[in-house]
Chains A and B, each alone.
Chain A
Amino acid sequence: MRPETEAELAEIVTGLSDPVRIAGGGTRGVGGSDPVLSVAGLQGITLYEPGALTVVARSGTPLAEIEATLEAEGQQLAFEPMDHRGLLGTMGEPTIGGVVAANISGPRRIQTGACRDFLLGVRYIDGRGQVIKNGGRVMKNVTGYDLVKLMAGSWGTLGVLSEVSLKVLPKPEAQATLALDVPDARAAVGVMSAALKSPYEVSGAAYDPAQNQAFLRIEGFADSVAYRIDRLRETLGGGADRSDMCWADIRDARAFHDLEGDLWRLSVKPGDAPDIAARAGAERLLFDWGGGLIWALMPKGTDLRPRLGDFEGHATLVRADEGTMDKLGRFQPESALIQALTKGIRQRFDPRGVFNPGLMG
């Protein structure tokens, strides 16, 4: 099923009698045996106003097309969406709808916010086949409930996105990266916290235990970057210039592309990261978001969650074979109360249960 217009999409959903798996470019690793309902045919940027920092696009529009269009005006999607293809070995073309449905953000999330923070409006088809809109294309909008946030990161379980509108930001003129030698995760989180507590607007804070280094990124106008990097070096008492570093490697968890094993993604309180990472007993770790994001490589089939015990945050299984994914669950099981609320919302948005059953509880 590959509709090319919103109306066709709505018609298809109305006529569904069996569950479907919703896909954009199919690069984010959502599998299953249900037939695919692809939005990849819903293409095109419908509005782009650089002076208003706004872009509106149909959900199947390739991410690359949007990024190129913004680039031509010196702008970008500031939340730095990750590309999952290298990690998951998927082949498709990432779409903006997929980015939004999975709330995909990269290293800059720590400074500027997540995909959901830049999402201004959505149009989607609910489980009854009705076209629903929420939000709009303006940056400040508190008119009614914010279903925009609810749709971001709902992985297609509440509706099929047909159009999204996003806030964009200027692309920084320059960037620089400072690298500091650190003996362990605790020291690394300490350095990253000190940097993020400074007034120098650090836009990336990652730690690679394999290199024993913490990396801090600063972006903006060239003169300002030069000034802030110097001040940051003073504040931290050292650091080497690693401006050649590729932040897309951190963004895309490049360290794990060629390593066998299951990959977990943990969102935690940064200060808890060293202890949580130690409890994981992972084969390989990578820290982003000042420690707030931990990538952990585990032997295939390992259930990481019981090892971590109770902690503030959540652990998502990003890469595993289908059997493990089914057995352990992609998402962290939530409290009975949250589960009940989630189920209630899902039941009302998709009463027939046709959207991505089995995903997200």
Chain B
Amino acid sequence: MEMPKPSPDVLRRKGAVVARLSQVLPQDAIIQDEAETRAYECDALTAYKCAPMIAVLPSTTQQVSDVLRICHEEGVPVVPRGAGTSLAGGALPTADCVILGVARMNDVLEVDYDNRFIRVQTGRTNLSVTGAVEEEDFFYAPDPSSQLACAIAGNIAMNSGGAHCLKYGVTTNNLMGVTMVMMDGTVVEIGGAYLDAGGLDLLGVICGSEGQLGVVTEATLRILRKPEGARPVLMGFDDNEVAGQCVSDIIKSGILPVAIEFMDRLCIQASEKFAQAGYPDCEALLIVEVEGSEAEIDSQLSKIVEIAKRHNPVELRESRSAEESARIWLGRKSAFGAMGQLNDYMCLDGTIPVSSLPFVLRRIGELSKDYGLPVGNVFHAGDGNMHPLILFDANKPGDLEKCEAFGADILTLCVDAGGCLTGEHGVGIEKRDLMTHQYTPQDLEAQMAVKDVFDPGWLLNPAKVFPLAASEPRRMAAE
């Protein structure tokens, strides 16, 4: 993966930059020793590593502002970092950058049940936002699978989703306001505990901008009352196409499940071996979960079961208790770990129109044969968000490159089928160079023009999202 060459001039001035940062941060918030900066050399896309020049861990918005102002004046690139769980390399450093980690900023600032919002510092983890409102039976809806570890800052940067977004939406649909520090140190408040923007929807474009427009230090998030209950039904089919048709029929029937998860044969077998959830041996498995009171759940599940029966399922298992629900979810929740037992894997994130599912799965199968690498598919079927897991051997020379080429083929296939490169993980460095497959140069210019406004010097996370060739003139002009 190509990254811009570090600036020798910046590297030479490391001492001076550290000295200036020391004036605004406590000593324990500055990491500059080479052995220690290595802790920040990568995020969850571990194939790529590069230790930053310096890492800082500010505790307040004011400190973030001071750090950014200094880096702006010194011309030092800044890579913001939440919890470092990005699967796309969103927090991958360059050797001449300052990593700005918000992990120490994890306070709850305000909880307001009457007005149904919570205000937090963005270093707080996703799950602990729900943790802060659980005593009143409330929750924060977006639930990326890394929710135990991932930070709200990263969720906002990547516009994270989760398994339940068919009903509750993704981060952008649950974000009401931010306090954000721009690259020159200016602090800006956008949105708040009210609905909709009074002018341009700047919040909408900040969410998902991968830390390139500013560093969000505080967020106002919508919280919701928990439903009375939730239960899934598991169904197995002998044919992917039939499973896809069943999903479509459920959605058309007027039921809005909170989640529809899909697993293919390789994933079913792997997770069955790993977790023994009692999954049937079949081509495709669906887990459909609905919410409400006991009676409401029964009524919805019986409608879903009726639809499923029209598609000749090989297995149909309706949960009747919390234990049965847990067992149904066990295999799905272990799927990634189970695949990891088989070999190293690369997790993709393309999204397709649900109607293209059979075609895309068939084509992925063909590509798998061509490349000689097995692939398993886990899938948020309700919203078309695929997670193909390509198995490869990181220790075998050439396998990673082969896997990446295969991955790129799958993602361009998703785009060609009417979908997109990434549904919830973000572009980062991983999909940067594929952007030209989805967007024209003019489309990309329009996006980069927004960054020009927020960060004219292109110092914030500059080597991400856009193909390096596309962003190069801007990065060069800024130097």
> Contact residues of A with B, CB < 8 Å?
49-54, 73-74, 103, 105, 109-110, 113-114, 116-117, 126, 130-134, 136-150, 152-154, 157-158, 169-173, 193, 196-199, 221, 223-224, 227-228, 231, 267-271, 289, 292-293, 312-314, 316, 331-332, 334-335, 337-338, 341-342, 344-345, 348-349, 360-361
- Does B75 sit within 8 A of A, measured CB to CB? no
Q: Point out the residue from A137, A173, A270 that lies within 8 Å of B353, measured CB to CB.
A: A137
- Does B271 sit within 8 A of A, measured CB to CB? no
Q: Point out the residue from B115, B192, B194, B438 that lies within 8 Å of A143, measured CB to CB.
A: B438
Q: How far is the CA of A271 from the CA of B137 in the complex (A)?
A: 20
Q: Is the contact region of chain B dominated by helix, strand, or loop, or is it mixed?
A: loop
How many B residues touch A, CB cutoff 8 Å?
A: 92
From known contacts A138-B352, A337-B186, infer whether A144 and B435 are also in contact, taking CB-CB under 8 Å: yes
A-B complex: 5 closest residue pairs judged by Cβ atoms? A149-B204, A314-B198, A51-B248, A140-B423, A344-B453
Q: Is the CB of A150 within 8 A of B208?
A: no
Q: Point out the residue from B165, B192, B225, B252 that lies within 8 Å of A269, measured CB to CB.
A: B192
**Which residues in B have their C-beta under 8 angstroms from that of A293?**
195
Q: How far is the CA of A329 from the CA of B241 in the complex (A)?
A: 55
Q: How far is the CA of A49 from the CA of B356 in the complex (A)?
A: 11
Q: How far is the CA of A289 from the CA of B195 in the complex (A)?
A: 9
Q: Is the CB of A52 within 8 A of B384?
A: yes
Q: Is the CB of B225 within 8 A of A199?
A: yes
Q: Point out the residue from B165, B248, B295, B438 that lies within 8 Å of A140, measured CB to CB.
A: B165
Q: How far is the CA of A199 from the CA of B116 in the complex (A)?
A: 13
Q: Point out the residue from A74, A117, A332 that lies within 8 Å of B198, measured CB to CB.
A: A332
Question: Distance (Å) between the CB of B152 and the closest chain A CB?
Answer: 16
Q: Is the CB of B449 within 8 A of A116?
A: no
**Which residues in B have their C-beta under 8 angstroms from that of A349?**
446, 449
Q: Point out the residue from B208, B418, B444 that lies within 8 Å of A146, measured CB to CB.
A: B208
Q: Is the CB of A140 within 8 A of B351?
A: yes
Spot the interface stretch: B64-72, B366-374, B425-433: B425-433
Question: Distance (Å) between the CB of A4 and the closest chain B CB?
Answer: 23
Q: Is the CB of A337 within 8 A of B188?
A: yes
Q: Is the CB of A144 within 8 A of B442?
A: no
Q: Is the CB of B205 within 8 A of A150?
A: yes
A and B contact pairs by CB, cutoff 8 A, 10 listed: A51-B354, A116-B196, A126-B446, A132-B443, A139-B383, A140-B351, A142-B423, A143-B421, A316-B198, A342-B199
**Which residues in B have their C-beta under 8 angstroms from that of A312?**
192-194
**Which residues in A have their C-beta under 8 angstroms from that of B172?**
117, 146, 149
Assuming A133-B443, A145-B208, what are 17 further A-B pairs, CB within 8 angstroms? A51-B251, A51-B354, A53-B251, A131-B442, A132-B443, A137-B418, A138-B383, A139-B351, A143-B420, A146-B208, A150-B205, A193-B116, A267-B195, A271-B115, A314-B199, A334-B198, A345-B453
Q: How far is the CA of A137 from the CA of B380 in the complex (A)?
A: 16
Q: How far is the CA of A335 from the CA of B208 in the complex (A)?
A: 23
Q: Is the CB of A313 within 8 A of B296?
A: no
**Which residues in B have their C-beta under 8 angstroms from that of A331?**
198-199
- Does B450 sit within 8 A of A, measured CB to CB? yes
Q: How far is the CA of A360 from the CA of B200 in the complex (A)?
A: 8
Q: How far is the CA of A231 from the CA of B295 in the complex (A)?
A: 13
- Most chain B beta-carbon contacts within 10 A, residue among A139, A157, A170: A139
- Most chain B beta-carbon contacts within 10 A, residue among A50, A138, A293, A316: A138
From known contacts A113-B169, A154-B201, A267-B198, infer whether A143 and B114 are also in contact, taking CB-CB under 8 Å: no
- Does B161 sit within 8 A of A, measured CB to CB? yes
Q: How far is the CA of A126 from the CA of B447 in the complex (A)?
A: 12
- Does B424 sit within 8 A of A, measured CB to CB? yes
> Closest residue to B116 on the A side, CB-wise?
A196
- Does B292 sit within 8 A of A, measured CB to CB? yes
Q: Point out the residue from B192, B199, B201 that lies within 8 Å of A313, measured CB to CB.
A: B192
From known contacts A139-B383, A140-B424, A267-B196, infer whether A49 and B254 are also in contact, taking CB-CB under 8 Å: no
**Which residues in A have their C-beta under 8 angstroms from that of B443?**
132-134, 144
**Which residues in A have their C-beta under 8 angstroms from that of B195?**
109-110, 114, 267, 289, 292-293
Q: How far is the CA of A344 from the CA of B213 in the complex (A)?
A: 13
Question: Distance (Å) between the CB of A225 and the closest chain B CB?
Answer: 10
Binary contact readout B65-103 vs A (1 if CB under 8 angstroms, 0 otherwise) = 000000000000000000000000000000000000000
**Which residues in A have their C-beta under 8 angstroms from that of B355?**
49, 51-52
Q: Is the CB of A145 within 8 A of B115?
A: no
Q: Is the CB of A197 within 8 A of B225?
A: yes
> Closest residue to A361 on the B side, CB-wise?
B199
Q: Is the CB of B353 within 8 A of A142?
A: no
Binary contact readout B220-250 vs A (1 if CB under 8 angstroms, 0 otherwise) = 0000011110000000000000000001110
Q: Is the CB of A169 within 8 A of B114?
A: no
Question: Distance (Å) between the CB of B88 and the closest chain A CB?
Answer: 9
- Does B170 sit within 8 A of A, measured CB to CB? yes
Q: Is the CB of A134 within 8 A of B295?
A: no
**Which residues in A have their C-beta under 8 angstroms from that of B114?**
193, 197, 270-271
> Closest residue to B431 on the A side, CB-wise?
A143
- Does B173 sit within 8 A of A, measured CB to CB? yes
Q: How far is the CA of A188 from the CA of B247 in the complex (A)?
A: 41
Q: Is the CB of A144 within 8 A of B249?
A: no
Question: Distance (Å) between the CB of A52 and the closest chain B CB?
Answer: 4
> Closest residue to A224 on the B side, CB-wise?
B296
- Most chain B beta-carbon contacts within 10 A, residue among A51, A141, A268: A141
Question: Distance (Å) between the CB of B422 and the closest chain A CB?
Answer: 5
From known contacts A224-B296, A267-B196, infer whether A348 and B351 are also in contact, taking CB-CB under 8 Å: no
> Closest residue to B444 on the A side, CB-wise?
A144
Q: Is the CB of A139 within 8 A of B384?
A: yes
Question: Distance (Å) between the CB of B438 and the closest chain A CB?
Answer: 6
> Closest residue to A136 on the B side, CB-wise?
B420
- Most chain A beta-carbon contacts within 10 A, residue among B172, B173, B197, B203: B197
